[in-house]
């Protein structure tokens, strides 16, 4: 076989938490044929498979007794351009933020609010990544995935992906699909989303009255750099907990004791709470035990100060979950996948 399968490979460079564990077997794949070859290799040896993109949504709690398949495919192409809307297709292994920057350089709008999110294009639909009022589903035009059960390729529509808040059919069936390519519908004429968070304020501070998509991207990058630590400098996976969605009655009950509750009414009558606010109110912001901690500026981010293990970070996460449940009767759900 042409694949270079290696044994006992450290995964520290391949996960943004910087957890130093080994993969028993490791391979990088660059096209559809190599994906199939890697899966066949694992099947022949009865090995489980762990698909890896940018490692930005993963908490590794020990050595990985599986074939780690790192998606390293590259390529961006324009499939349709009618001078108003453009359909762009990207290979799964393309790093996400450079792909966003490429789209802006082409004069295409739609992805600017999703700037500076770590990870790869192929991993983006997995949890329907979102930021500042925009989610993948808002710009999604389809994707191609390999069915690991049948070996066939399948194109998914928006409806078939079953996108939800940080969720999708792919996240619910992790062992079935390999996302190979993702398509996006982008616009020549920008329809900017500026009303979520401090985006308008940051643009005003920069003296920008009539922003272009690139201005929005730069503003969001500056906000994110202030709020979130750079994984290259401090190991983390971004937001560690989902914002919980609870009943309006429970939200009203919490607000009686906490008038400053940060809450967003939802279309179905429920209320989304800011998980970071809950964690900060409970006193966890800046907490540290050994090298596992909660970021001093953003309580939604767990960090590895150097030598924390995945088990230590997971234990800290469970402590926070238990405390929030006891204080507010709210269940916090982890965003990263645990392995």
Which positions are annotated as active-site residues? Answer: 166, 239, 335
CA-based nearest residue to 108, from 209, 215, 214, 216: 214
Q: Please name the helix (run of DSSP H) or strand (run of DSSP E) that holds residue 201, with its range, or none.
A: helix 199-205
Give the other-Cβ count within 10 Å of 144's Cβ: 18
In this structure, are strands 337-338 and 58-59 parallel, antiparallel, or unpaired? parallel
Token pair in block for residue 219: 């503003």
193 φ, ψ (degrees, to nearest 5): -110, 105
CA distances from 11 to 22, 70, 137, 174, 227 (A): 6, 11, 30, 20, 26
CA atoms within 13 A of residue 159's CA, in its CB half-sphere = 0
Torsion of CA 255, 297, 164, 338, to 10 degrees: -120
Helices 213-227 and 96-105, packing angle to 10 deg? 150
- How many angstroms from the chain centroid is the CA of residue 188? 26
H or E element at residue 184? strand 177-187
**Pair 19, 59: CB distance under 8 Å:** yes
In whole angstroms, what is the distance from residue 87 CA to residue 69 CA?
Answer: 28
Question: Rounded distance, CA 188 to CA 168, Å?
Answer: 28
Instruction: State how beta strands 64-71 and 49-52 pair.
Output: parallel
CA–centroid distance for 209 within its chain:
31
Question: Which strands, in side-by-side order, build the sheet including 49-52?
Answer: 6-10, 22-29, 64-71, 49-52
């Amino acid at each position: 076989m042409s694949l270079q399968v290696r044994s006992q490979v450290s995964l520290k460079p391949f996960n943004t938490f910087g957890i130093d564990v080994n993969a028993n077997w490791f391979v990088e794949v660059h096209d559809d044929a190599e994906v199939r070859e890697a899966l066949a290799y694992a099947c022949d040896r009865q090995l489980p498979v762990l698909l890896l993109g940018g490692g930005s949504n993963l908490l590794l709690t020990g050595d990985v007794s599986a074939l780690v398949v790192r998606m390293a495919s590259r390529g961006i192409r324009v499939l349709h351009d009618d001078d108003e809307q453009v359909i762009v297709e990207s290979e799964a292994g393309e790093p996400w933020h450079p792909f966003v920057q490429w789209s802006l350089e082409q004069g295409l709008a739609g992805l600017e609010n999703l700037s500076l999110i770590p990870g790869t294009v192929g991993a983006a639909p997995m949890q329907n990544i979102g930021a500042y009022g925009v989610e993948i589903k808002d710009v999604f035009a389809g994707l191609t995935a390999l069915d690991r059960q049948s070996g066939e390729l399948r194109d998914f529509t928006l409806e078939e992906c079953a996108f939800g808040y940080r969720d999708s059919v792919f996240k619910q069936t992790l062992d079935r699909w390999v996302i190979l390519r993702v398509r996006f519908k982008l616009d020549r004429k920008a329809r900017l989303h500026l009303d979520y968070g401090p985006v308008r304020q940051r643009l005003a501070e920069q003296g920008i009255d009539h922003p272009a998509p690139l201005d929005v991207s730069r503003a969001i990058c500056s906000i994110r750099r202030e709020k979130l630590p750079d994984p290259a400098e401090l190991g983390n996976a971004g937001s560690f907990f989902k914002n919980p969605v609870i009943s309006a009655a429970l939200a009203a009950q919490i607000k009686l004791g906490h008038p400053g509750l940060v809450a967003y009414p939802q279309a179905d009558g429920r209320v989304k709470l800011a998980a970071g606010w809950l964690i900060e109110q409970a006193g966890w912001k800046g907490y540290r035990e050994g090298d596992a901690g909660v970021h001093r500026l953003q309580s939604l981010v767990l960090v590895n100060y150097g030598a924390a293990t995945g088990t230590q970070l997971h234990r800290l996460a469970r402590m926070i979950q238990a405390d929030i449940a006891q204080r507010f009767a709210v269940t916090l759900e982890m965003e990263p996948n645990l392995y």
